[in-house]
Amino acid sequence: MDLRFTQQELAFQQEVRDFLNASLPEHICAAVRSGAELPRTVLQEWHEILGRKGWLGTTWPKEYGGPGWTPVERYLFDVECNRACAPRIVPFGPSMLGPVIQNFGTQEQKDSILPRILSGEDWWAQGYSEPGAGSDLASLKTRAERDGDHYVVNGQKTWTTLGQHANKIFCLVRTKKEGKPQEGISFLMMDIPSQGLEVRPIRLIEGGYEVNEVFLDNVRVPVSNLVGEENKGWTIAKFLLSHERTNIAGVGISMHALEEVKSLARRMIRKGKPLIEDPLFAARIARVEIDLEAMKTTNLRMLYQAQKQGHPGPETSILKIKGTQVNQELRDLARRALGPVAAPFPGTITEANLMFGPPNSEANAATYFNNRKTSIFGGSNEIQRNILTKAMLGL
Amino acid sequence: MNFDMTEDRQMLSETLSRFLADRCDWETRNRVAYTAPYTDAGRWLALAGLGIPGALVPEEHGGFGGTGFDISVVFEALGRALCPEPFLPTLLASRVLGAVGKDQTGLVDGSIRYAVGISEIDAPYDLGGMITCARANGAGFSLSGRKTAVYGAQVADRLLIAALLGGKPAVFEVDPRAAGITPYGMIDGGGAAEVLLDETPAVLLARDAGALLNSVIRAGRLALCAEAVGAMQFAYELLLDYLKTRRQFGVAIGSFQALQHRTVDLLTEIEQARSITIAAADALDGPDGDLKAAMAKNLIGRAARLVAEETIQMSGGIGMTWEYAGSHYSKRLVMIDHQLGDTDHCLEEVMQSYAA
């Protein structure tokens, strides 16, 4: 037992810090710190900076132009990026489609798609869920029918995150109606815009536009846009969902959120004293800090296992459940710390110079509401419990 | 980074577990745990022969262990078997004796049994509220006061007692024959005693011993956390077994999602408990030792109670019976919170790190 990082890992951590110090522009940090939605330009600029460094496809092996990092290195990179207030990498191209193409794509697909992800040229979106297929994803109905060298696609996708910025989308579509639902699904890539494809925004609880519906009406897609074999898409979908789980616990983001909560609680005053001296509030912080401290070790234990076995196991579902609980609790505390200052609807305070609350506090309640999503997306926490029931409990 | 157990500790764990499977089987455990003196002298010496006390003592003091991970591996195995033998007082005593440079041969070979009295009724977990005090008495000292729930004191050959000297906590050695010892059994098995001190002669071991006592307490907390991890893991395995075999409505009750998801939550909390215990073991004598031990004891207090209550609930009426092993695990898991700092007390210690 030894919880220390190796000299190599520490050197890597320093390299990441140095890079972030030198290359993360201040205006990007400021945008992240504000907590507001990040415009495409900011995300794009950061992707391009990482792309030039070769650090955008954090899970990619060297042969595909990735950095070839170990799970521990990816973890350290995530923690340092959060500490430095870097934007998160929009995962659909770099973390999801990239590994899919590397594992299931043709040589031609590898040559044409991978470089454009790494350069940030293509912005990918994901078309998985449908109005009638959420947790029960295999029941999806969007169909693709062969017509010569094309598929003709009809149906509807939903919860397509940042689809409004995308010029490409990968979708799960039904290519066979007979047999088990999982056996008739294919993995298909499409262009945005395409004739018959329409992206419509969905407004979320806090008022932001982050997700979309995608309507598909006789969209013609070349057969060469199929990834893997026809009707074998479910295997790819499962691969994609289980592949990038290094950061599923969100340790980096929660460590940063904890610091934010403490700093807010030192700044806000209650009953004449800093809020952090209020025993009830301090107790709430302490409890979640302890849970996070335990989760850091749980995360490292599982990274260590993944590194040894070469792949993450089903126990990573534990990280998803606990990670989202910790993260949501921290968002709750940040909102609560601000008291009435958290209440105004961002953007409705028109007096530009009015410093209503501490810096970057405006978006706190919105962030709290927005982060309720984390226990729903990526396989809801109930689905994670089903996975664990089968895999770990044997029930 | 490495989360594998060393070969030596792996062997120690296996040896101890094998011994306990043989000599601390279910019926034997309950007979000893609930009958005075709540320990089995022969078994104690056999465990000492296996080197269990020695594993808790550093090499320079005559043992072969004493680090955080040595402590956790021993207590996890003891917890898994719900072994009532009083190794916690052995560990606490070893930390005291080590700090003052006293010989530990008798502690290591099991021939001298120690108990350590820190808690008082009105100051169960904090040194600040202690009222037992020492008075200089010619060449030596005498102690007056009452130490409460002193684990192992029902059979101890020597008592190590925390008492105020000049307004500061100090540690003394007391001959139990000179003190008033009122022994009793514990609701979760094992024994302890009230130690009544009335001008009782005592030998001063350490003056101004606040830091020393903290190091004793944090090692004890780590041990209790590891014991809880072992006990939780076993209680969880018992539950899984029950969910697979108990049938109602024509099916195994483990097929009900209402129980599946709650069981997964237990698994999650047990893994978290294991993690924080590893973190506390790793930090034990480093700069974060006190903080990590307090964090661990807080999380363990919450997790252990959850596991205890949920395993009772999900085992239905059976979980309520004396007959069922799980009920005794539940008792131990709940009552661990009453030793060396409960959930709230430890939370408060963590909160104190926010001051300044």
**Interface touch B275/A321, C-beta < 8 Å:** no
* pLDDT score recorded for residue A347: 78
Confidence of residue A378 (pLDDT cuts 50, 70, 90): confident
* Mean pLDDT value of segment A220-247: 88
Which residues of A are less than 8 Å from B6 in CB distance?
1
Query: Does A7 have pLDDT greater than 90?
Result: yes
Which residues of B are less than 8 Å from A301 in CB distance?
3, 275, 278
The upper half-sphere exposure of residue B48, i.e. CA atoms within 13 Å in the direction of its Cβ, equals 20
* Mean pLDDT value of segment A321-338: 97
Q: Determine the Cα–Cα distance for residues A371 and A267; give it in Å rounded to an integer.
A: 24
Q: Determine the Cα–Cα distance for residues A316 and A302; give it in Å rounded to an integer.
A: 7
Residues of chain A whose C-beta is under 8 A from some C-beta in B?
A: 1-6, 9, 72, 262, 276-277, 279, 282-283, 285-287, 289-291, 293-298, 300-301, 304-305, 315, 318, 321-322, 382, 384-386, 388-389, 392-395
Element holding A189 (H helix, E strand): strand A185-191
Establish if B234 touches chain A: CB-CB under 8 angstroms.
Answer: no
Which residues of B are less than 8 Å from A319 in CB distance?
none
**Interface touch B240/A293, C-beta < 8 Å:** no
* pLDDT score recorded for residue A360: 79
The second-level CATH assignment, the architecture, of B7-112 is: Orthogonal Bundle (1.10)
> DSSP assignment of A107-136, as one string?
HHHHHHHHHHHHTT---EEEE--BTTBSSS
Q: What is the ipTM of this complex?
A: 0.94
**Interface touch B295/A295, C-beta < 8 Å:** no
Which pair of structure tokens corresponds to residue A241? 């969902």
Q: Determine the Cα–Cα distance for residues A84 and B46; give it in Å rounded to an integer.
A: 56
Query: What confidence tens digit (pLDDT) does each residue in A279-289 have?
Result: 999 999 999 99
Query: Does A93 have pLDDT greater than 80?
Result: yes
Mean pLDDT score of chain A: 93
Class of domain A244-393: mainly alpha
Query: Does B53 have pLDDT greater than 60?
Result: yes
Query: What confidence tens digit (pLDDT) does each residue in B88-103 have?
Result: 999 999 999 999 999 9
Which residues of A are less than 8 Å from B2 in CB distance?
1-2, 304
Query: What confidence tens digit (pLDDT) does each residue in B218-249 have?
Result: 999 999 999 999 999 999 999 999 999 999 99
Query: Does B179 have pLDDT greater than 70?
Result: yes
What is the CATH superfamily name and number for domain A124-231? Butyryl-CoA Dehydrogenase, subunit A, domain 2 (2.40.110.10)
**Interface touch A301/B348, C-beta < 8 Å:** no
- Among residues A280, A318, A327, A79, the alpha carbon closest in space to that of B273 is found at A318
Query: What confidence tens digit (pLDDT) does each residue in B124-141 have?
Result: 999 999 999 999 988 899
In chain B, positions 253-272, which contact chain A (CB-CB < 8 Å)?
A: 254-255, 257, 260-261, 263-265, 267-268, 271-272
Which residues of A are less than 8 Å from B260 in CB distance?
385-386, 389, 393, 395
Indicate the range of A16-20, A69-73, A102-106 predicted with least confidence. A69-73
Q: Determine the Cα–Cα distance for residues B350 and B343; give it in Å rounded to an integer.
A: 11
For chain A, residues classed under CATH 1.20.140.10 are 244-393
Express as a percent the part of chain A with pLDDT over 70.
97
- Tell me the three state secondary structure of residue A141: coil
Confidence of residue A351 (pLDDT cuts 50, 70, 90): low
**Interface touch A394/B240, C-beta < 8 Å:** yes
Which fold would CATH assign to domain B212-352? Butyryl-CoA Dehydrogenase, subunit A; domain 3 (1.20.140)
For residue B15, the tally of other CB atoms under 10 A from its CB is 14
The catalytic residue positions of A are: 244
Query: What confidence tens digit (pLDDT) does each residue in A36-46 have?
Result: 889 999 999 99
pTM, to two decimals: 0.94
Indicate the range of A17-21, A345-349, B66-70, B182-186 predicted with least confidence. A345-349
* pLDDT score recorded for residue B314: 97
* pLDDT score recorded for residue A248: 83
- Best interface-test mutation with B: which of A276, A278, A297 has the largest number of B CBs within 10 A? A297
* pLDDT score recorded for residue A311: 79
Query: Does B183 have pLDDT greater than 80?
Result: yes
| Domain covering B115-207 assigned CATH 2.40.110.10 in the classification | yes
Confidence of residue A355 (pLDDT cuts 50, 70, 90): low
* pLDDT score recorded for residue B309: 98
**Pairing relationship of beta strands B158-165 and B114-117 according to DSSP bridges:** parallel
Domain segments of chain B: what residues? 7-112, 115-207, 212-352
* pLDDT score recorded for residue A170: 98
- Best interface-test mutation with A: which of B3, B233, B238 has the largest number of A CBs within 10 A? B3
* Mean pLDDT value of segment A54-75: 93
For chain A, residues classed under CATH 2.40.110.10 are 124-231
Highest mean pLDDT pick, A91-95, B1-5, B154-158: B154-158
Query: Does A84 have pLDDT greater than 70?
Result: yes
The identity of residue A381, as a single letter, is N
Which pair of structure tokens corresponds to residue A61? 């092996």
Query: What confidence tens digit (pLDDT) does each residue in A163-182 have?
Result: 999 999 999 999 999 999 99
**Interface touch B1/A322, C-beta < 8 Å:** no
Which residues of B are less than 8 Å from A296 in CB distance?
275, 279
Name the E strands within B44-139.
Answer: 114-117, 133-137
**Interface touch A322/B272, C-beta < 8 Å:** yes
Which residues of B are less than 8 Å from A289 in CB distance?
295, 350
Element holding A243 (H helix, E strand): helix A233-243
**Interface touch B272/A295, C-beta < 8 Å:** yes
Q: Determine the Cα–Cα distance for residues A170 and A97; give it in Å rounded to an integer.
A: 8
* pLDDT score recorded for residue B355: 82
**Interface touch A5/B348, C-beta < 8 Å:** no
* Mean pLDDT value of segment A331-351: 88
Q: Which residue of A has its CA nearest to B294?
A: A290
The upper half-sphere exposure of residue A335, i.e. CA atoms within 13 Å in the direction of its Cβ, equals 18
The beta-carbon neighbor of B264 closest among A4, A304, A385 is: A385
Query: What confidence tens digit (pLDDT) does each residue in B302-343 have?
Result: 999 999 999 999 999 999 999 999 999 999 999 999 999 999
Q: Determine the Cα–Cα distance for residues B78 and B85; give it in Å rounded to an integer.
A: 9
Q: Determine the Cα–Cα distance for residues A183 and A186; give it in Å rounded to an integer.
A: 9
Q: Phi-psi bin for B31: left (phi > 0), alpha (psi -120 to 50), beta?
A: alpha
Which residues of B are less than 8 Å from A394 in CB distance?
240, 244
Q: Which residue of A has its CA nearest to B269?
A: A322
Tell me whether the CATH fold assigned to B115-207 matches the one assigned to B212-352.
Answer: no
**Interface touch A301/B6, C-beta < 8 Å:** no
B137 pairs with which residues across the strands?
Answer: B140
- Among residues A317, A307, A330, the alpha carbon closest in space to that of A389 is found at A317
DSSP state of B175: -
Query: Does B1 have pLDDT greater than 90?
Result: no
Q: How many residues does chain B have?
A: 356
**Interface touch B69/A1, C-beta < 8 Å:** yes
Query: What confidence tens digit (pLDDT) does each residue in B252-284 have?
Result: 999 999 999 999 999 999 999 999 999 999 999
The beta-carbon neighbor of B275 closest among A6, A297, A385 is: A297
* Mean pLDDT value of segment B19-34: 96
